[in-house]
Amino acid sequence: MNRVLKAALLGAAILVIAAALGCGGGESDSSSTAANTESKPRNLKKYDFIFHASILCKKGLEQADVAMHKAAGEPAPKKPSSAPDWENSKLPLKVVLPAFRRITSELEALEPSQADAYEYESFVKRLQEELKEAETHPDAPISSRPLRGAGKQAYIWGLHACLF
């Protein structure tokens, strides 16, 4: 009986491994292959798109955090924050405007799938408008959070790393 139980368990383990290796689909479509070979991502599924856009926002906001520390005369943190403390900053916007411009430019270059294009383009348009307005008042404090509306819109859409 002990030998039968061992054989049954071994057989079950082999079936589980075979099923795991056999799953995952051999589907391959040319559009995903084409998207991976181009210099900028095109027509990504929403999850992949949000992941890529979130990385852009995270890196840009980390650059803004470093700029804020340097402008305040503080050493740049070893691990910059991707969620800087906007509300308590007395620094002028001109300190973070270059990072905001870079983020906006990089987000403009992304192309979402057709299903998500309207919402994403609405977010990018709002970001552009708020950035343009912020550039007219470069000496306003960062705490005024001029890109707040775009940040909220990004969050609602799923870009949680774009909290301006």
26 domain residue, yes or no: no
pLDDT tens across 9-38, in order?
555 556 556 555 555 544 444 444 444 445
Q: Does residue 75 surpass a pLDDT of 80? A: yes
161 domain residue, yes or no: yes
Q: What is the pLDDT of residue 83?
A: 85
| Number of separate domains in the chain | 1
Q: Which residues of 32-54 are buried (b: 16+ CB within 10 A; e: fewer)?
A: eeebeeeeebebbeeeebbebbb
Chain mean position to CA 7? 49
Q: Give the pLDDT band (50/70/90) at residue 39.
A: low
Amino acid in the structure at residue 36: N
Q: Does residue 100 surpass a pLDDT of 90? A: yes
110 domain residue, yes or no: yes
Please give the Cα distance from 6 to 86 (Å, whole number): 62
Please give the Cα distance from 28 to 125 (Å, whole number): 34
20 domain residue, yes or no: no
Q: Is 79 exposed, middle or buried (0-12, 13-18, 19+ CB in 10 A)?
A: exposed
53 domain residue, yes or no: yes
160 domain residue, yes or no: yes
64 domain residue, yes or no: yes
Record the pTM: 0.69
5 domain residue, yes or no: no
Percent of the chain with pLDDT over 90: 49
Domain residue limits at 152:
46-164
Average model confidence (pLDDT) for the chain? 81
pLDDT tens across 107-128, in order?
999 988 888 889 999 999 999 9
Percent of the chain with pLDDT over 70: 74
Q: What is the pLDDT of residue 37?
A: 46
